[in-house]
């Protein structure tokens, strides 16, 4: 726990456990359970509350549903290339709020590397997922849009919820990013436009240009140099038609380039609001309410660095706990550059596997056990 200020000894009555996922090993829910087990071993009389958190990427649905004791639902939708996939979403706040992730319907992980093709991949299935969430009775949707396989500016999503994107023969446009070069007009409208949608978005990329969707994210989705230029030009054409027909000019809005331009599409077609992911999800988890009367907070993720402090869920947890004057212990597999910034965010102690002599290969074999052990180490030092 070197490098962070030492707090006075504590014998907590109430402990809040709010970790992010430990990527590749534990979900946020599993991590919370493991840390809670370690805390109870040292402080058996303490009230331990588990609040798994996320920052808008993979695991957002699970974190929010489990933190709020919500309900899981699923819908069969079109995958990025049209294959049927089972996409899970969640309902919280007595069903008033739905939580969805684009990756479950239109995600890169749904395609083998040799099938990745952003010219053809579509967000149509994500639109179907949003429609399913709305049809469940939710009046509000929280959407995470990380991990997409697409570069279609949210056009497929728009088609799935009621818009018609028409070519010069007045025929419905084919799906995929390349087809956008042929869109001539937009008709119809959204069946879910009256639903409040907040989008967890942690990138500032505009839709177009060197820092836009195609140039920055296209290559990881299978686009070569020529395809990147083709897709960027196609998105530029879509943006112009949207400006003319929908009277909206949002291509330069920060985050418009997220998820292959899905950020742009959600604002233009659905009236959604793009917000920073970690504050959105941590707030929706109910974490602030659990801080009342808390003596100690645990958070953590697989590797901590400067990004953890600025933009990730553990940094947001620490910031909120600091405002409430509750000390924070952060558990992690290892440290990276800039981890020192966490002390200014409110982290009191950091315990890492590597500094405690826990071999990372061993941790991969028993991640829950090793995380519980790290929590025990931290609690004994606090006592």
pLDDT digits (tens, 9 = 90+) for 36-82: 999 999 999 999 999 999 998 889 999 999 999 999 999 999 999 99
Greater pLDDT, 363 or 287: 287
Q: Which two tokens stand for residue 63?
A: 């974190």
Neighbours of 22 (CB within 10 A): 24
- 255 with 326, same domain: the answer is no
End-to-end Cα spacing for the chain: 15
> Which residues form the domain of 238?
60-278
Among 58-62, 75-79, 90-94, 119-123, whose mean pLDDT is lowest? 58-62
How distant, in Å, are the alpha carbons of 49, 187, 286, 320, 350 from that of 279? 20, 35, 11, 9, 22
State how far the Cα of 182 lies from the Cα of 264, in Å rounded to an integer.
18
What average pLDDT does range 189-206 have in this prediction? 93
User: pLDDT by residue (tens digit) across 149-186?
Assistant: 999 999 999 999 999 999 999 999 999 999 999 999 99
- 259 with 341, same domain: the answer is no
Chain-wide mean pLDDT for the chain? 94
Q: In which band, very low, low, confident or very high, does the pLDDT at 354 lie, cut at 50, 70 and 90?
A: confident
State how far the Cα of 89 lies from the Cα of 315, in Å rounded to an integer.
26
Q: What is the pTM of this model?
A: 0.90
- 295 with 273, same domain: the answer is no
- 71 with 47, same domain: the answer is no
Element (DSSP H or E) covering residue 124:
helix 124-135
Beta bridge partners of 335: 304
- 263 with 297, same domain: the answer is no
CATH number at residue 372: 3.40.50.10350
CATH number at residue 198: 3.90.1510.10
State how far the Cα of 173 lies from the Cα of 238, in Å rounded to an integer.
12
CB 260 within 8 A of CB 151: yes
- 29 with 106, same domain: the answer is no
Task: With a cut of 80, say whether residue 357 has pLDDT above it.
Answer: no
């Amino acid at each position: 726990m070197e490098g962070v200020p030492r707090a006075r000894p504590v014998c907590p009555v109430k402990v809040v456990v709010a970790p992010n996922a430990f990527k590749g090993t534990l979900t946020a829910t599993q991590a919370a359970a493991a840390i809670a087990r370690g805390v109870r071993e040292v402080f058996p009389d303490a009230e331990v509350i588990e609040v798994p958190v996320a920052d808008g990427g993979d695991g957002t649905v699970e974190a929010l549903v489990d933190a709020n004791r919500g309900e899981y639902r699923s819908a069969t939708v079109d995958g990025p290339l049209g294959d049927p996939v089972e996409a899970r979403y969640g309902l919280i706040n007595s069903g008033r709020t739905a939580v969805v992730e684009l990756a479950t319907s239109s995600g890169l992980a749904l395609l083998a590397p040799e099938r990745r093709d952003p010219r053809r991949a579509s967000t149509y299935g994500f639109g179907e997922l949003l429609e399913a969430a709305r049809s469940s009775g939710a009046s509000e949707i929280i959407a995470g849009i990380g991990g997409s396989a697409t570069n279609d500016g949210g056009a497929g999503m728009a088609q799935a919820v009621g818009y018609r994107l028409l070519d010069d023969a007045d025929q419905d446009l084919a799906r995929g990013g390349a087809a956008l070069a042929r869109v001539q007009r937009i008709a119809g409208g959204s069946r879910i436009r009256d639903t409040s949608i907040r989008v967890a978005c942690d990138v500032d990329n505009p839709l177009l240009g060197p820092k836009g969707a195609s140039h920055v994210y296209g290559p990881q989705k299978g686009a070569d140099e020529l395809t990147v230029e083709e897709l960027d030009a196609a998105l530029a054409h879509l943006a112009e038609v949207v400006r003319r027909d929908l009277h909206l000019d949002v291509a330069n809005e920060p985050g418009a380039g997220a998820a292959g331009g899905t950020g742009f599409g959600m604002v233009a077609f659905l009236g959604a609001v793009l917000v920073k992911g970690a504050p959105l999800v941590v707030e929706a988890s109910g974490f602030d309410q659990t801080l009342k009367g808390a003596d100690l907070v645990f958070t953590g993720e697989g590797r901590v660095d400067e990004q953890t402090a600025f933009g990730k869920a553990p940094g947001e947890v620490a910031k909120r706990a600091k405002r409430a004057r509750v000390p924070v212990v952060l558990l992690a597999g290892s440290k990276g550059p800039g981890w020192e910034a966490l002390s200014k965010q409110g982290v009191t102690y950091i315990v890492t596997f590597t500094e405690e002599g826990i071999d990372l290969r061993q941790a991969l074999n028993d991640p829950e056990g090793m995380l519980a052990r790290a929590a025990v180490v931290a609690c004994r030092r606090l006592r």
